[in-house]
Amino acid sequence: MKDCVRLILIMAAILSLVEVSFAEEIDGIKAESETVTSEPSKAGYVDVGGLNMYYEIYGEGEPLVLLHGAFSTIDLNFGKLMPSLARDRQVIGIEQQGHGHTEDIDRPFSYEQMGNDTARLLRQLGIKKADILGYSDGGIIALELAIRHPEAVRKLVIISSPYKRDGWYPEGYAFIENLTPEMFNGSGAPEAYAKVAPNPANWTASIEKDKRLTSEYIGRTTEEFRSIKAPTLIIIGDSDGVRPESAVEMFKLLGGGVFGDVAGLPSSQLAVLPGTSHISIMMERTDWLVPMIQEFLNKSLEAPVTPG
């Protein structure tokens, strides 16, 4: 029984669910976040086509948008990462339809729609162009934003996200078919939702929508993904829910996979973190992620380096 429960929690990690063993760490993350960032400089809702979409803003400087994963919130995914990023940037956290503070409405979850919602929110906030960081489902939304609204994207940071269906390990899809709300008990996710959701009773309905979103996920074609012009940093763990072959394919499609000393460095980058899973990449690797992300985002948008 114990092994079964552990398997449930591990597989749910593919959807960004926070497993039981991290419950105490999450509390610590929240405490650290509150200590370092205190309250957001601005927070509220924007009406994007009938959806009251929630956002928070921390810090000042060039805009960096954070997009969370499934069943999650700004705080759960980025509470540990945000304080460092907000020291020299304006960091905008967004909560998607049916997640966190953003109430669900009568329409299915859709990565394409969430990308459109994000673009509309940024326009209404007066942000014409921003760097976009997405984790798990948030990374898929970030890719949709880059494909559908390229004018809004300066650079991309994609953490633990594929661009098409077979980028996830197949075991995840098999598990999702049998996912129930009871399997989340003890994870902390239902409590986090109830704490901030306008209507906590929507938790079960949101789970069903997220299940359908993932089970029906197809993704983008090679040609569509290759059309992304924004320099992109792709990050996964070596034991992630995303297959390493998928991350390498993404990197190659965006100009990687060359002998840099001869051909020059591509504008996109790839990082595979050792001893790292889909969940621990956000929970335990802040010290690794922050300098990678900052160096990548701060590098000027110049032509790729060529040999001298």
Q: How many CB atoms are closer than 10 A to CB 243?
A: 16
Confidence of residue 176 (pLDDT cuts 50, 70, 90): confident
What average pLDDT score do residues 71-92 get?
93
Strands (E), 198-263: 232-239
CATH dotted code for 2-298: 3.40.50.1820
Task: Return the percentage of the chain with pLDDT > 90, whole number.
Answer: 73
Single-letter amino acid code for the residue at 60:
E
The residues, any chain, with a CB within 8 Å of residue 301's CB and separated by 6 or more, are 154, 155, 231
Integer-rounded Cα Rg, in Å, for the chain is: 18
Task: Please give the Cα distance from 168 to 113 (Å, whole number).
Answer: 21
Strand order of the β-sheet with 51-58 is 42-48, 51-58, 89-95, 62-67, 130-135, 153-159, 232-239, 269-277
Confidence of residue 38 (pLDDT cuts 50, 70, 90): low
The phi and psi torsions of 276 (rounded to 5 degrees) equal -130, 135
Cα of 77 vs its chain's centroid, Å: 8
Give the residue carrying structure tokens 């304080």.
Answer: 83
Single-letter amino acid code for the residue at 134:
G
Extents of the domains making up the chain: 2-298
Do 23 and 192 touch, CB atoms closer than 8 A? no
Which residues are registered as beta bridge partners of 66?
Answer: 93, 133
What average pLDDT score do residues 196-215 get?
92
Q: Is the dihedral of CA 220, 235, 277, 67 positive or negative?
A: negative
Which residues are registered as beta bridge partners of 17?
Answer: none
Model pLDDT, residue 191 = 86
Give the residue carrying structure tokens 């940093």.
Answer: 233
What average pLDDT score do residues 20-35 get?
39
The residues, any chain, with a CB within 8 Å of residue 87's CB and separated by 6 or more, are 59
Q: Is the pLDDT of residue 26 over 50?
A: no
Task: Please give the Cα distance from 81 to 8 (Å, whole number).
Answer: 26
Task: Return the percentage of the chain with pLDDT > 70, whole number.
Answer: 85
Q: Is the pLDDT of residue 28 over 80?
A: no
Task: Please give the Cα distance from 191 to 213 (Å, whole number).
Answer: 22
Strands (E), 30-78: 42-48, 51-58, 62-67
Q: Is the pLDDT of residue 29 over 80?
A: no
What average pLDDT score do residues 263-276 get?
97
pLDDT tens profile 230-255: 999 999 999 999 999 999 999 999 99
Give the DSSP H or E segment for 270. Answer: strand 269-277
Confidence of residue 36 (pLDDT cuts 50, 70, 90): very low
